[in-house]
A and B are shown apart, each in its own frame.
Chain A
Amino acid sequence: MEIKIPEVGESVREALLAKWFKKNGDYVKRDEPLCEIETDKITLDLNADAAGVLTISVLEGTTVAVGATIGIVEESEVIAEVSTATSMKIMAERHEEPASSPSLRREMRENNISPDEVTGSGSGGRITLDDLFARIEEKSKMPPQSRPAVAKEHVSVAPSQQNESIVTVQQSKPALSDLKAMPEPAGQISVRTEESPSYSSARDERRPMSPLRKRIAERLVTARQQTAMLTTFNEADLSHVKKLRSDYHDHFLQRHGIALGYMPFFVKACVEALKDFPIVNASIDADDIVYHKYYDIGVAIGGEKGLVVPVLRNADQLKLYEIDISIATFSEKIKANHLAISDLEGGTFTISNGGVYGSMLSTPILNPPQSAVLGMHAIQDRPVARDGQVVIRPMMYLALSYDHRVIDGREAVGFLKKVKEYIEDPEELLLEG
């Protein structure tokens, strides 16, 4: 049974093999996750279609074409020749130990000394026989409680002349005679002097970037470097939206099984504003500007492995509750790692809600080839001037980052003002849509 990179979406021709959960030669069960693949938008688990022995032909970290074979699950009872899992583990441990030799390692085991407590005097910290003997000597002078007592099954075989031997099995602690030979504990003063300084590694911890994180990083830098990004700000009074939500909360919940959120209002407001400013919904393709006559709105959702942006198709045709349900469905899919690439493709505009994390003001970053992205923020009760009076209103700062190559300041500011107006006066939205 060949393991192939599945078709995940129309524009996706290649995927990154991010991680193998199984090792070459492992026996895998049917439906067990084998590996994780990533495209620039999504991570996806591939499961075994059959039980058998796994042979990996493409290593993790490799970018492969859709449809390519990355390994095989051999459906037979044939036993794999070598399982490398354990030996690799030992290998990784061993190369961190100071260099020694097979017989030295046995001496160390015999004397219950771990390699890192011996100071190697050889080149590169190599432990020599003299180093070990010095350590054994030193250890024999240590107070007994600092010697780890090993209780192990100890079998001693005593040969005798008549080829008769007595095998005795005993639970042995350090022998009594050993204890007697040791000096009395000298207070609590430790004799260990060669202990390595402990502060060296604790201050930094180095971890390799996950492939998805690397990809996110690349894309963000690209967005920065290859667009002329600029951000404009405004603020919206959410009194109306808030009232609508609370007034119709129970009713909405009853009819649609979901609590009405803020996001659907913003999606609707953006769609209407995009209709007024088609350039904000456009994108650059080489020397052309492509105006999109449809409104596929990406909604940024924070996932465990990074931010993903599933797309609401034809958002102009969706009812508020449909938008709400779609977003809830996306969130569940993200949690279950079931999001399809098709869910992420081809948005024309993105809304990012930093408010869920409590952000007051931020500049969202573009999601190329889109030309603009709206940033929502936390709703705060703030004093504002209304009809010459200072009143307290639930306010939200709005940010629109846009690609200045396509969108002029006038259009960007106009668009954002439109969004503000629709949000502050949602009745108009409802009449429109």
Chain B
Amino acid sequence: MSEPNTYDLIIIGAGPGGYVAAIRASKLGMKVALVDKRVTSGGVCLNEGCIPSKALLDSSELFVMARDKFSLHGIVVNPPSLDLSAMMLRKEDVVKKLTDGIAYLLKKNEIERIHGSAVLKGLNAAGLHQVEVIHSFSQPTSSGQQSLLDSVPQSTLMLTAPKIILAAGSEASSLPGISFDGQVVVSAREALAFDQVPEHLIVVGGGFIGLELGSVWRRLGAQVTVMEMLPQILPNMDRQVADMLYRTLRKQGIQFKLGTRITGVRRIGSKAIVLFNSGGGSEEVDCDKVLVAVGRRPLTAGLGLEELGVEFDEKGRVVVDDNYKSSVSGVYAIGDMIPGPMLAHKASEEGVVCVERIAGMTSEVEYEFIPGVVYTWPEASGVGASEEQLKTAGIPYRSGRFNFAALGRARCMDETDGFVKILAHQETDRILGVHIVGPRASDLISEAATVMSFGGTARDIAMICHAHPTLPEAIREAALDVHKESLHT
């Protein structure tokens, strides 16, 4: 009875939201088509976002260790030199192994992966949603870099399904009046693949993308200046964490111009002059790269959504209900296309829950326990409410804090910058937020998210035996400090 191009579910976008949703749907017994413009799956996250940036962050951190920290450990080496192209190749190899891994998973789950751009065409006579895919026959590129269809032979294909999940993700916003040129004024995608270390990189935007990529190039020797319109970096993070990170990054030589507005960029050959205003009149500065990382906007254009009558909010995001269903019956949306933090793991969660709800299950994304991480060094992470949010919401709380400087393992590692802060409800002791800046904060936050998901209290953490000497001991000490019972301060 099933026609070749008829599916139970068509998912548009094979990023961390879409491909995870596809696998879950397949495991629930649905026949799934997964459409993406990119040959490789994994979306921005895997191809030009989280994964390649972490590959470079890890590489560049090793470089800094060899250059600046080995001697402290008594390891004498010649000053290391940088082979940037080898570093980039390793990064591409990491990406390739992971995209290959997804391709394998999709195949194993018998998911139809279709390469091309999708347009929703409304319902057919049988009441199924039609999706037109303009697809190309180009071969997957080995580099794992994006390969948009352009001049390759094209054909169109009509797919139908009762349900569609939109998971097309987002793209970098540009500054008003300053468009990306792919050479000098670039987005994160290009900043992950510079062929040489810039002399002076200007990062516009003090959010996590700007800080992470700024860190990469700073470690590899670039002069880096972060310009941020607000008077602070990372406005949504806990203020103490953001302030600590700000001070540490400045110590590492990243320059900051806060409260600064970029008024223009003048290109001169392969360089540029950035015009800016920090409140004291117009100034300018030379640089050879400008990374614009001022936020991302949902990719909703070109999918035929307006024509179908899909509703958007004032920020251009798809309006969805608790089932992730849009205003159009049978059309769902997840990830960066809908409100909420633009995080890969949030999109994956939503993908799974959306599919499970389509299958009649009562799954739910527990948004309050979604951790956020900034992969600078030291790293910063947080889950739950910040101290500022608790104050604003008028929730009574106690705060406990422990500095890594007092922690044995951090001393051994010589990574003593930072702290763990635990915010617990004043009456119930239930943990409301945990904020960490310090070594491996990204890994440490999992314990916090786990305990919070279980409705745990600061005393719960304090009563759990933590191995010694380890970094997570800092979490226990912070939990003890909530009741001023800290052992090591």
Q: Which residues of A contact B (CB under 8 A)?
A: 20, 23-25, 27, 55-57, 59-61, 69, 72, 74, 76-84, 86-88, 90-92, 94-95, 97-102, 105-106, 109-110, 124, 126, 153-159, 163-165, 167, 169, 208
Task: Tell whether, in the assembled complex, residue A60 and residue B392 are in contact, meaning their CB atoms are under 8 Å apart.
Answer: yes
Q: What chain A residues lie within 8 Å of B1 (beta carbons)?
A: 164
Task: Tell whether, in the assembled complex, residue A126 and residue B455 are in contact, meaning their CB atoms are under 8 Å apart.
Answer: yes
Task: Tell whether, in the assembled complex, residue A106 and residue B363 are in contact, meaning their CB atoms are under 8 Å apart.
Answer: yes
Residue of B nearest to A84 (CB): B389
Does chain A have a CB within 8 A of B391?
yes
Known interface pairs A110-B362, A154-B360, A163-B31; A91-B432 also in contact (CB < 8 Å) = yes
Q: What chain A residues lie within 8 Å of B232 (beta carbons)?
A: 57
Task: Tell whether, in the assembled complex, residue A20 and residue B392 are in contact, meaning their CB atoms are under 8 Å apart.
Answer: yes
Q: How far is the CB of B330 from chain A (nearest CB, A)?
A: 9
Listed from nearest, the 3 A-B pairs whose CB atoms lie closest are A99-B455, A159-B29, A109-B362
Residue of B nearest to A27 (CB): B314
Task: Tell whether, in the assembled complex, residue B359 and residue A157 are in contact, meaning their CB atoms are under 8 Å apart.
Answer: yes
Task: Tell whether, in the assembled complex, residue A157 and residue B296 are in contact, meaning their CB atoms are under 8 Å apart.
Answer: no
Residue among A88, A91, A165, A169 making CB contact with B29, cutoff 8 Å: A165
Q: How far is the CB of B29 from chain A (nearest CB, A)?
A: 3
- Give the complex CA separation of A105 and B394 in angstroms: 26
> Beyond the given A61-B391, A101-B455, A159-B28, could you list 9 further A-B residue pairs with CB under 8 A, ordered by the A residue number?
A23-B392, A56-B388, A57-B232, A76-B176, A82-B340, A82-B341, A109-B364, A156-B360, A165-B29
Residue of A nearest to B297 (CB): A79
Q: What chain B residues lie within 8 Å of A159 (beta carbons)?
A: 28-29
Does chain A have a CB within 8 A of B439?
no
Task: Tell whether, in the assembled complex, residue B366 and residue A102 are in contact, meaning their CB atoms are under 8 Å apart.
Answer: yes
Q: What chain A residues lie within 8 Å of B297 (beta carbons)?
A: 79
Q: What chain A residues lie within 8 Å of B110 (beta carbons)?
A: 163
Residues 286 to 334 of chain B near chain A (Cβ within 8 Å): 294-297, 314-316, 323
Contact with A along B195-211 (1 / 0, CB 8 A): 00000000000010000
Does chain A have a CB within 8 A of B30?
yes
Could you write out 14 A-B pairs with CB less than 8 Å apart?
Answer: A20-B392, A24-B236, A74-B230, A80-B295, A86-B339, A86-B367, A88-B389, A91-B385, A97-B455, A99-B454, A101-B454, A105-B366, A153-B323, A155-B360
Task: Tell whether, in the assembled complex, residue A87 and residue B457 are in contact, meaning their CB atoms are under 8 Å apart.
Answer: no
Known interface pairs A78-B295, A79-B315; A95-B362 also in contact (CB < 8 Å) = no
Residue of B nearest to A153 (CB): B323
Task: Tell whether, in the assembled complex, residue B230 and residue A155 are in contact, meaning their CB atoms are under 8 Å apart.
Answer: no
Residue of A nearest to B31 (CB): A165
- Give the complex CA separation of A76 and B230 in angstroms: 12
Known interface pairs A82-B340, A100-B454, A165-B31; A110-B361 also in contact (CB < 8 Å) = yes
Residue of B nearest to A74 (CB): B229
Interface size on B, residues (CB 8 A): 60
Residue among A24, A98, A101 making CB contact with B388, cutoff 8 Å: A24
Known interface pairs A74-B229, A156-B360; A82-B425 also in contact (CB < 8 Å) = no
- Give the complex CA separation of A102 and B393 in angstroms: 24
Does chain A have a CB within 8 A of B235?
yes
Q: What chain B residues lie within 8 Å of A72 (beta carbons)?
A: 230-231
Q: What chain A residues lie within 8 Å of B314 (beta carbons)?
A: 27
Known interface pairs A27-B315, A99-B456, A126-B455; A59-B368 also in contact (CB < 8 Å) = no
Residue of A nearest to B170 (CB): A79
Task: Tell whether, in the assembled complex, residue A55 and residue B235 are in contact, meaning their CB atoms are under 8 Å apart.
Answer: yes
Q: How far is the CB of A79 from chain B (nearest CB, A)?
A: 5
- Give the complex CA separation of A157 and B359 in angstroms: 6
Q: What chain B residues lie within 8 Å of A23 (beta carbons)?
A: 392
Interface centre among A25, A79, A88 (most CB of B within 10 A): A79
Q: What chain B residues lie within 8 Å of A157 (beta carbons)?
A: 8, 28-30, 359-360
Contact with A along B158-171 (1 / 0, CB 8 A): 00001100000000
Task: Tell whether, in the assembled complex, residue A82 and residue B236 are in contact, meaning their CB atoms are under 8 Å apart.
Answer: yes
Q: What chain A residues lie within 8 Å of B393 (beta carbons)?
A: 88, 91-92
Does chain A have a CB within 8 A of B428?
yes
Task: Tell whether, in the assembled complex, residue A57 and residue B231 are in contact, meaning their CB atoms are under 8 Å apart.
Answer: yes
Q: How far is the CB of A82 from chain B (nearest CB, A)?
A: 5
Task: Tell whether, in the assembled complex, residue B359 and residue A78 are in contact, meaning their CB atoms are under 8 Å apart.
Answer: no
Residue of A nearest to B162 (CB): A167
Does chain A have a CB within 8 A of B384?
yes
- Give the complex CA separation of A232 and B428 in angstroms: 52
Does chain A have a CB within 8 A of B430?
yes
Q: What chain B residues lie within 8 Å of A169 (beta carbons)?
A: 162
Q: What chain B residues lie within 8 Å of A20 (beta carbons)?
A: 392
Q: How far is the CB of B112 from chain A (nearest CB, A)?
A: 11
Does chain A have a CB within 8 A of B395?
yes
Task: Tell whether, in the assembled complex, residue A106 and residue B364 are in contact, meaning their CB atoms are under 8 Å apart.
Answer: yes
Does chain A have a CB within 8 A of B453?
yes
Q: What chain A residues lie within 8 Å of B64 (beta carbons)?
A: none
Task: Tell whether, in the assembled complex, residue A25 and residue B235 are in contact, meaning their CB atoms are under 8 Å apart.
Answer: yes
- Give the complex CA separation of A91 and B393 in angstroms: 10
Q: How far is the CB of A418 from chain B (nearest CB, A)?
A: 50
Q: What chain B residues lie within 8 Å of A86 (beta carbons)?
A: 339, 367
Residue among A83, A88, A94 making CB contact with B340, cutoff 8 Å: A83
Residue of B nearest to A167 (CB): B8
Does chain A have a CB within 8 A of B272?
no
- Give the complex CA separation of A27 and B313 in angstroms: 12
Task: Tell whether, in the assembled complex, residue A83 and residue B339 are in contact, meaning their CB atoms are under 8 Å apart.
Answer: yes
- Give the complex CA separation of A44 and B196 in angstroms: 56
Q: How far is the CB of B41 from chain A (nearest CB, A)?
A: 20
Residues 428 to 476 of chain B near chain A (Cβ within 8 Å): 428, 430, 432, 453-457
- Give the complex CA separation of A136 and B266 in angstroms: 69
- Give the complex CA separation of A25 and B388 in angstroms: 13
Does chain A have a CB within 8 A of B173?
yes
Q: What chain A residues lie within 8 Å of B339 (beta carbons)?
A: 83, 86
Known interface pairs A59-B392, A87-B368; A95-B428 also in contact (CB < 8 Å) = yes
Does chain A have a CB within 8 A of B2?
yes
Residues 1 to 51 of chain B near chain A (Cβ within 8 Å): 1-2, 8, 28-31
- Give the complex CA separation of A100 and B363 in angstroms: 15
Q: How far is the CB of B299 from chain A (nearest CB, A)?
A: 12
Task: Tell whether, in the assembled complex, residue A24 and residue B235 are in contact, meaning their CB atoms are under 8 Å apart.
Answer: yes
Known interface pairs A27-B315, A59-B388, A87-B368; A79-B295 also in contact (CB < 8 Å) = yes
Known interface pairs A23-B392, A24-B392, A167-B162; A78-B428 also in contact (CB < 8 Å) = no
